[in-house]
Each structure stands twice: as C-alpha cells, then as structure tokens.
Amino acid sequence: MRSQESTWSNPTLGGPAEDLPAIDDAEFSDNLDQTRLDAYRLARRLGWSHDDALDIVQDASLRAWRYRHTRRGLFRPWFLAIVYREAHRGRRRWLTVPVFWRENPSEHSSDPTLSGDLGGCIAMLPGRQRVALWLRFGVDLPFPEIGRVMGISERAAIQLVWRARQALRRTLVGIGGSEP
C-alpha cells in the first residue's frame, strides 16, 4: 500500500496525484476491516441507530465493492465518503406485504366475495394494485415514494391506488348490495 505523502499532490487541496491501481480482493477486505469501525462511528454520529448504522455500513461496503475499480485516492476517505452518502440517502424500513394480501390460488376456489372477506377481496386484485394499495395504506407512503419504490411515476402510483380502491368498492358494494 502506498503512503499518503506519495499519493497526494497537495495536502491542502486534497486532490489525488494519480489514480491508484485497482486493489485485489484480499487488499480490499483488509482495507474494509480497518475502516469498518470508523464507518460505523460516522453513521452513528450522523444520527442513526445501532441497527441502521450497521445497515448503512453494509450497504456502503456493497457499493464500494461494486465500484472498487473506480476508486481514486486512498481507501479510507473514499469509503467514508460512500458511507456519508449512504447515510444521507435515508433508510427505508421495508415491510413485506401481509400474508392475506398476497395472492393465494387455493383461496380463489371458494369465492371470497360471497363471504365478504376483505383479505380475500384484496387478494383478488392484480399484483401491482395490491402492492400499491399496501404501500399507501399499510406503510403510509406518499405517492412520490410509492412511485420510486415501484419504478413508476407519481401519477401512475395515484392511478394504481385509485383503481384498486374502485375495484374493492365495486366488489364490496356487490356484496352489501348498496352504495356506501
């Protein structure tokens, strides 16, 4: 490994004198082991809980591994910059769709609309509508976030939720026999 003096052209400017060659797997692992505790402390200082800080360091490690060939300069500041960016992205608490919201073919053998089972009616919705409905009302995400999670525009997320609600309304009104 090179010393800091040989890699920095001007310590006051902080610019790299030259690109460092790509490091091999063992060297990457060693550098990561030496920097991991500092990365964790950085995430904690930025206000994240213990578990979230561990997740941030893990995500940053994966990103660093993926882009290890683009590294410029020393490993430690490069990796800590990745941790800093990951920490500012925010953490999402991913929740799975509840079991009764998932499509289960065995449930469709007896028509859930006949029993008035809301879970069965939700399970009959198309998959994208079901997930959009869950993200909106189960996780309470705003429509722009739903769009980002599903890889669609905000307007498309609004329409998916609206269509799911309309389909549920039609199904449940058909069960009850009157408009709510």
Q: pLDDT for 87-136, tens place per residue?
A: 888 665 555 555 555 555 444 445 444 455 777 788 888 888 888 888 88
The fraction of the chain above a pLDDT of 90, given in percent, is: 18
Handedness of CA 127, 133, 134, 135 (dihedral sign): positive
How far apart, in Å, are the Cα atoms of 137 and each of 45, 98, 114, 130, 147? Answer: 33, 12, 24, 11, 14
- Residue 16 belongs to what H/E stretch? strand 15-16
State residue 159's pLDDT score: 95
- The string of pLDDT tens digits covering residues 151-177 is 889 999 999 999 999 998 888 877 655
Fold of 4-89: Rna Polymerase Sigma Factor; Chain: A (1.10.1740)
Query: Nearest to residue 171, comparing CAs of 133, 135, 117?
Result: 117
Q: Is the pLDDT at 145 greater than 90, yes or no?
A: no
Per-residue model confidence (pLDDT) at position 162? 95
Q: CA nearest 67: which of 77, 78, 56, 57? A: 78
Q: What are phi and psi of 156, to 5 degrees?
A: -65, -35
Q: Are 20 and 73 in contact (CB under 8 A)?
A: yes
Say what the pLDDT of residue 62 is.
Answer: 92
Does residue 179 register a pLDDT over 80?
Answer: no
String of DSSP letters for 78-126: HHHHHHHHHHHH------PPPGGGS--GGGGGS-HHHHT-HHHHHHTS-
pLDDT at position 14, please?
41
Average pLDDT, the chain: 75
Contact at 8 Å (CB) between 59 and 43? no
- List of residues 6+ apart from 38 with CB closer than 8 A: 76, 80
Among 134, 146, 139, which residue's Cα sits nearest to residue 102? 134
Residue 23's pLDDT is 67
Q: What are phi and psi of 92, to 5 degrees?
A: -105, 130
pLDDT band for position 4 (50/70/90)?
very low
Q: What confidence tier does 2 reach under pLDDT thresholds 50, 70, 90?
A: very low
Are the C-beta atoms of 83 and 60 separated by less than 8 Å? yes
With tokens 């660093």, the residue in question is: 64
- Indicate the domain borders of the chain: 4-89, 99-176
* CATH assignment, 99-176: 1.10.10.10
Q: What is the pLDDT of residues 35-44, one digit of tens each?
A: 999 899 888 8
